[in-house]
Amino acid sequence: MNQLNGSLSGLSMQAPIPASRRRRTLRRLARDKWLYLMLLPGVLYFVLFKYAPMWGLLISFQDYQPYLGFGGSDWVGFKHFERLFNDPLFWRLLKNTLVLALYNIVFFFPAPILLALMLNEIRKEGFKRAMQTMIYVPHFVSWVVVVGIAYTFLTTDGGVVNEAIAAIGGEKIGFLTSADWFRSIITLEVMWKETGWGTIIFLAALAGVDPQQYEAARMDGASRLRQLWHVTLPAIRSTIVILFILRLGTFLDTGFEQIFLMINSLNREVGEVFDTYVYTAGITQGQFSFSTAVGLFKSVIGCILVVGANRLARKFGEEGVY
Amino acid sequence: MIVANERNWRYRLFNTVNATLLAVISAAMVLPFLYVVLISFATDKEVLSNSFLLVPTRFSLEGYRYIFSTPVLLHSLGVTVGVTVVGTLVNLFMTVLTAYPLAHKELMARRPLMMLITFTMIFNAGIVPTFLIVKSLHLTNTFGALIIPSAISAFNLIVVKNFFQQLPDGLEESAKIDGASDPGILMRIVIPLSMPVIATFSLFYAVGHWNTFLSAILYINDSDKWPIQVLLRQIVILSEIGLSDMSDSPPPPSKIINMAVIVFSTAPILVFYPFLQKYFAKGVLLGSVKG
């Protein structure tokens, strides 16, 4: 034991005997007693609200009954998971989640990059700052307000968009009640709310470009578009790559509040995703065990994606989220 | 040579097209708000006679008079203000208090603790098990449910911890030599030096509380305790709540009422926004710097 410790603790140090080590530990504890005391509420918070629920995930292997409690409910093994994977509902949820996520990556992801590139080409500082002030605003508004505004614009009952369509002789479109429009509207709402805010990180990367590079490019006769392609884009390439990878890590997070607010009985077929289903089945209908099983499935896949995305980010020489 | 190049027409065309496009995009992000505000002040006659109304010609307070004819909305706003103030204070207290010890490299168990905290960002138990815990703590239907389960954001905690870590070590050492205790150092040295970061995170936390919706529909059944966002959904999206018990006069068109409610519940954020913008932008960049 002593020998092992000695070899582990390096060359210059002598093998510490356990008693003095314990004393040293106690001395460090005494010296930092305030630090440990300060840590206590935070640790308690994480234990109660993050780790206790992880323990609670075990109810997905039970037939949990609130009046029997965790200890009294029957264990049923993988029953709920078997039910889940054999239910056509599962494939619908998976498809809806994946399609929405794909829409998000294809249409929303490039938007802040394009907008940041456009802002970066503005030479008048005042104009640029005014634009920035305007495009950040929607980020701070709640989803309830965004969906509320979308409702007033898109309703067939006197909404501006439909009135405009009617005015040019078209037929009113039930944007809010049609399954065909659901995904486009969800994606447009996200773009409206978050594109401006998303530019911040790219603008920061763009601010780091050495102006001499542009000068050199101009000397060589490069046009503005060629400067954009050969100087600006390479400067933010690593930011784009890392954000793309990290986005893949949260691929399944479709955003509960927005979808929950946009869903109704007429578009539920394409609108229901894992998050909203867990809420409806678990909280509203009280199917605690089954909805926990659905949530656990999503969490496990999400966890694998995040870890994988971080591995990938490190491969690209970036730091990742953790 | 450069000057001549810059003066050429292609350069100017590029600038004009780019600036015009940007102006259109920025307008698209702000005009919906302007529309909401304008309609909230419209008269019922104008809204009823012209459903394509964009800019009302006459000004009226009908909508606002109507939504304040019962105390429901004011009460709900009071709940949100209270939860935002108390919740943000709790967030700051818990985040700073937890981040400070974790910024000390000599702290035992620091690495496993950081790993456990980081893990909560990667793996989420989900809403049902969390709901059952909150319920078993008898927090449901209390304002505590809107504050305590979200007392610390792991991400914010890590950013604040990293900020504390990069403060010069010498400050703390010399204070220790002068006999200061850890709480004393935190209060008198670390917090004053971290005010910009703390301001930024109070803003993020406060906006989060103001816009809170999910935890309210999860934990609060009692409509007396609904924060403004839940009431807003009932009125604007579900059209389920009548605000007035005055039966003698017909209510104004729901469009005006909806717009007035949206203005009323969003104004506090939009009024403060121009002053806070730079802190927010700073916060995003803080988060992207890893230590």
Domains within chain A, CATH numbers bracketed? 2-67 (no CATH), 79-315 (1.10.3720.10)
Enumerate the H helices of chain B as residue ranges.
2-7, 9-40, 44-49, 62-67, 72-102, 110-122, 127-136, 144-147, 154-165, 169-177, 182-185, 191-193, 195-210, 214-219, 228-232, 254-288
The verdict on B88 and B175 lying in the same domain is yes
Shortest CA distance from B54: residue in chain A: A160
State phi, psi for B33 to the nearest 5 degrees: -65, -40
User: Considering the domain boundaries, does residue B86 fall inside one?
Assistant: yes
Residue from A21, A65, A141, A155 whose CB has the most chain B CBs within 10 Å, to mutate: A141
In whole angstroms, how large is the CA radius of gyration of chain B?
Answer: 25
* Residue B88 domain-assigned (yes or no): yes
C-alpha span between B275 and B6 (Å, rounded): 36
Say whether both B43 and B80 belong to one domain.
no
| Higher-scoring residue by pLDDT: B291, B24 | B24
Quick check: A200 and B284 CB within 8 A? yes
Residue B77: inside a domain: yes
Counting residues of chain A whose pLDDT is more than 90, the rounded percentage is 54
Residues B201 and B253 in one domain: no
Q: What is the mean pLDDT of residues B147-175?
A: 91
Q: Which chain A residues are Cβ-neighbours of B102 within 8 angstroms? A: 39
For residue B97, what is the nearest residue in chain A, using CA coordinates?
A: A38
B222 CB neighbour count, 10 Å cutoff: 9
User: Looking at A140-154, B8-22, B152-166, which range is the least confident one?
Assistant: B8-22
Specify whether B76 is located in the same domain as B58. no
The owner of tokens 């005015």 is A167
Instruction: Band the pLDDT of A8: cuts 50, 70, 90.
Output: very low
Question: Using CB atoms, which residue from A48, A137, A153 is nearest to B29?
Answer: A137
End of a domain among B195, B223, B251?
A: B223
Please say if the pLDDT value at position A113 is more than 90.
Answer: yes
Asked if the model's pLDDT at residue B3 lies above 80, the reply is no
What pLDDT sits at residue B6? Answer: 53
Query: CB B152 to CB A131 under 8 A?
Result: no
Cα separation of B131 and B133, whole Å? Answer: 5
Closest residue to B22, CB basis, from A122, A218, A296:
A122
Report the distance separating Cα A94 and Cα A102, nearest Å: 12
**Both B179 and B282 in a single domain?**
no
The answer as to whether B187 is a domain residue is: yes
Count other C-beta atoms under 10 Å from residue A306's C-beta.
22
Average pLDDT score over chain B: 87
| CATH number of the CATH domain containing B155 | 1.10.3720.10
What is the arithmetic mean of pLDDT over B216-239? 92
The per-residue pLDDT for A20 is: 82
pLDDT of residue A4: 42
User: What confidence tier does B288 reach under pLDDT thresholds 50, 70, 90?
Assistant: low
Q: Do B52 and B116 fall into the same domain?
A: no
Identify the pLDDT of residue B37: 93
Q: Which of B121, B128, B162, B240 would you mutate first to test chain A, the one with the most A CBs within 10 A?
A: B128
Distance from CA of A88 to the nearest CA of B (A): 22
Q: Is B19 on the interface with A (CB under 8 A)?
A: yes
Query: Which of A140-149, A243-252, B47-56, B161-170 shows the lowest mean pLDDT across its residues?
Result: B47-56
Quick check: B143 pLDDT over 90?
yes
Say how many domains are in chain B: 2
Same domain for B162 and B267: no
Kindly tell me the number of DSSP H helices and DSSP E strands found in chain A. Answer: 19, 2
Residues B168, B41, single domain; the answer is no
Q: What is the pLDDT of residue A319?
A: 64
Distance from the A296 Cα atom to the nearest Cα atom in chain B, whole angstroms: 7
Tokens, residue B207: 């906006």
Full residue range of the structural domain in which residue B86 is found:
72-223
Alpha carbons B80 and A176: distance in angstroms, whole number: 29
Do B57 and B80 sit in the same domain of this protein?
Answer: no
Partner-chain residue, chosen from A42, A196, A218, that has the shortest CB–CB distance to B98: A42
Mutate to test the interface with B, among A21, A26, A127, A134 (most CBs of B within 10 A): A134
pLDDT band at B287 (very low <50, low <70, confident <90, very high): low
Q: Which of A152, A163, A259 to mutate to test the interface with B (most CBs of B within 10 A)?
A: A152
Q: Tell me, what's the pLDDT at A11?
A: 43
Is the pLDDT reported for residue A47 higher than 90? Answer: yes
Res B277: pLDDT: 73
Tell me, yes or no, whether B44 and B137 share the same domain: no
Q: What pLDDT was estimated at residue A16?
A: 53
Most confident of A73-77, A313-317, B249-253: A73-77
* Residue scoring higher pLDDT (A265 or A17): A265
Q: Which of B30, B125, B137 faces A134 most closely, judged by CB atoms? A: B30
Question: Tens of pLDDT along A175-225?
Answer: 998 999 999 999 999 999 999 999 988 998 888 888 888 889 888 888 888
| Share above pLDDT 70 across residues of chain B, in percent, rounded to a whole number | 90
Contact by Cβ (8 Å): B72, B231: yes
Tokens 């005494």 sit at which residue? A30
Is the pLDDT reported for residue B243 higher than 80? no
Asked if residue B32 belongs to a domain, the reply is yes
Q: Are residues A179 and A173 in contact, defined by beta-carbon separation less than 8 angstroms?
A: no
Stretch 169-198 of chain B: residues touching chain A, C-beta under 8 Å: 181-183, 186
pLDDT, greater one: B226 or A12: B226
What pLDDT digit, counting tens, does each position of B69-127 carry? Answer: 888 899 999 999 999 999 999 999 999 999 999 999 888 889 999 999 999 988 989 89
Q: Is B26 on the interface with A (CB under 8 A)?
A: yes
CB atoms within 10 A of CB B150: 19
Q: Examine residue B284 and state whether it is found in any structural domain, yes or no.
A: yes
**Domain end position, chosen among B167, B195, B223:** B223
Task: Tell whether B235 is covered by a domain.
Answer: no
pLDDT, tens only, B31-78:
999 999 999 998 888 887 776 777 888 888 888 988 888 888 999 999
Give the residue with greater pLDDT, B139 vs B171. Answer: B139
Whether residues B92 and B180 fall in one domain: yes
Question: Is pLDDT above 70 for A73?
Answer: yes
Q: Is residue B166 part of a domain?
A: yes
Same domain, B53 and B88: no
- Long-range contact pairs involving A176-183 (C-beta distance under 8 Å, separation at least 24): A176/A150, A176/A151, A176/A262, A176/A264, A176/A267, A177/A264, A177/A266, A177/A267, A178/A266, A178/A267, A179/A266, A179/A267, A179/A269, A179/A270, A179/A271, A181/A267, A182/A262, A182/A267, A182/A270, A182/A271, A183/A99, A183/A100, A183/A103, A183/A270
What pLDDT is recorded for position A193? 96
What pTM value is reported for the model?
A: 0.89
Looking at residues A143-152, what average pLDDT do you find? 94
Cα dihedral A14, A18, A24, A25, rounded to 10, equals 130
Q: Per-residue pLDDT averaged across B208-235, rounded?
A: 94
Residues from chain A that touch B137, judged by Cβ atoms under 8 A, are: 48
Considering only A2-11, A253-262, B172-181, B185-194, which range has the smallest mean pLDDT?
A2-11
